[in-house]
Every structure is written in C-alpha cells, then in structure tokens.
Amino acid sequence: AQSVTQLGSHVSVSEGALVLLRCNYSSSVPPYLFWYVQYPNQGLQLLLKYTSAATLVKGINGFEAEFKKSETSFHLTKPSAHMSDAAEYFCAVSGSSGYSTLTFGKGTMLLVSP
Amino acid sequence: NAGVTQTPKFRVLKTGQSMTLLCAQDMNHEYMYWYRQDPGMGLRLIHYSVGEGTTAKGEVPDGYNVSRLKKQNFLLGLESAAPSQTSVYFCASRRASSVYEQYFGPGTRLTVT
C-alpha cells in the first residue's frame, strides 16, 4: 500500500522568493517518487523523479527535490520563484516493479505574486 | 508525434446517458491509464491496462468500463452517467520497460446534469 500527503492545498510566494512544496509518502516497498506540474486547463507534465539513484534530484525549470528516507519526505524546492511557476503541483509515489501504479497526492496550488 | 490525445475535450451528459471517451497514443506504449481529477482530490486511478486485451481495476472503478482492443487505444465507457461522475478525465501511457514517466493527455471535461 502506498499514499502521499501534500501539506498545504495552497502556497503563496512573492516573485523571487524561495518555493517549498512539501510531500510525505508512505510505501511498503522502496518507492519511486515524482513531482508533476499542471498548468491551467492542461494535462500533467513531469518535473522530476527519484528512482533510487541520487537522493537530490534536479528537474526542469530550476526545480529540485531531495529524497529523505528517514523523514519519508520528498519536498520540492526552487530558489527563486517566477510568475510562470504559478500552477498546481502533484507529488506521486509508485513501487519499483513493472506493474506498479502511481498514487497521487491531492495537489498544492502555487500562487506567485509580483 | 502527437503523444497522448483524448476525444472529446468537453461533453455534457444527462443523468442516465452513456458515452465513451477515447484515448489514443502514438508512442507504442504498452501501459495505459484512466484517471479522474476532482477538486481537492488529486488524480485517482479508474482503470488501467498493461497490454492489448488486458485491463485491471484501479482505485475508483465503479460505474466505468474500459476496453483495449488495439495497443494504441484505450476506451473509457460510462454506461449510465451519474452527477457524481462529473469530473475531468485524464488518460496516460508509459513504456513497460520504464516505471519512470507516464505521459498525460490534455483531459476531457465531463459534466453530468
């Protein structure tokens, strides 16, 4: 069984400020972890993924996330927010076997103000 | 290379009507998925398929049926639509050899009145 908890349904930051979106997971097997981004009226796009290699993962658009097994966390960060980062972000977990399915968190809406 | 496409983009149904949503992918992916997205609920898996002719239930399968007669297509059917099925439906696909990335379609917004 696997689950994801995203803390905060909405996060507001100013342009240029640090972005921190929190994700905690639960998994009975070694997890693969993902962050997806959804812009308004669009599908989901993969930002980055952790697949048991380096614990600090870099993704697109300057985002990165760190896998911390002891804290069962996979928080998403970006040093400096841009207006174009405003979107909804989803954390997801899967197992590592071929048939594994993705379980998504409920999402965090990132609001960026000028 | 269109990726994952979904038809239709929007649909309004009356309670009790039926419809089929079509998902098509041109990446030769083995695995395909149907999700629904509701406000504050994230994405929930309805059904999925690991190959032509095979389907499996996800987290919220009730009220839906699926078929995968061709590798590139995955159909989601609603036999008797209910207002609780008002949602945005997303299809996704991925290679069997990679657990990593699912590729998502643009979504179908369905309203059941």
Reported as a single tens digit per residue, the pLDDT across B23-32 is: 999 999 999 9
Are B43 and A97 an interchain contact pair (Cβ–Cβ within 8 Å)? no
Residue for token pair 């614990």: A55
pLDDT of residue A39: 93
Apex CA A31: angle with CA A94 and CA B95, to 5°? 45
Q: Is the CB of residue B55 less than 8 Å from the CB of residue B64?
A: no
- Mean pLDDT of the residues in chain A: 92
pLDDT in tens, B43-90: 999 999 999 999 999 999 999 999 999 999 999 999 999 999 999 999
Minimal-distance CA residue of chain A relative to B97: A98
- What is the rounded average pLDDT of the residues A36-60? 91
Q: Give the β-pairing of B108-112 and B10-13.
A: parallel
Query: How far is residue A66's CA from residue A51's CA, in Å, rounded to a whole number?
Result: 12
Give the model's pLDDT for residue B74: 98
Min Cα distance A44 → chain B (Å) is: 6
For A:67-106, CB contacts with B below 8 A are 90, 94-106
The rounded distance, in Å, linking the Cα atoms of A46 and B20 is 27
Contact A90 B42 (CB under 8 A): yes
Please report residues of B whose CB lies closer than 8 A to that of A44.
43, 90, 92, 104
Q: Is B84 left (phi over 0), alpha (psi -120 to 50) or beta?
A: alpha
pLDDT (tens digit per residue) in A80-99: 999 999 999 999 998 777 67
Residue recorded with tokens 């038809």: B7
Contact residues, A window 14-73, toward B, CB-based 8 Å cutoff: 32, 34, 36, 41-46, 49, 51
Place of tokens 């239930």: B57
Tokens for B8? 């239709």
Question: Confidence class of residue A54 from pLDDT cuts 50, 70 and 90?
Answer: confident
Task: Assign B99 a pLDDT band (cuts: 50, 70, 90).
Answer: low
Banded pLDDT at A37 (limits 50, 70, 90): very high
Cβ proximity of B40 and A104 under 8 Å: no
Question: How many angstroms separate the CA atoms of B52 and B71, rounded?
Answer: 5
Confidence of residue A1 (pLDDT cuts 50, 70, 90): confident
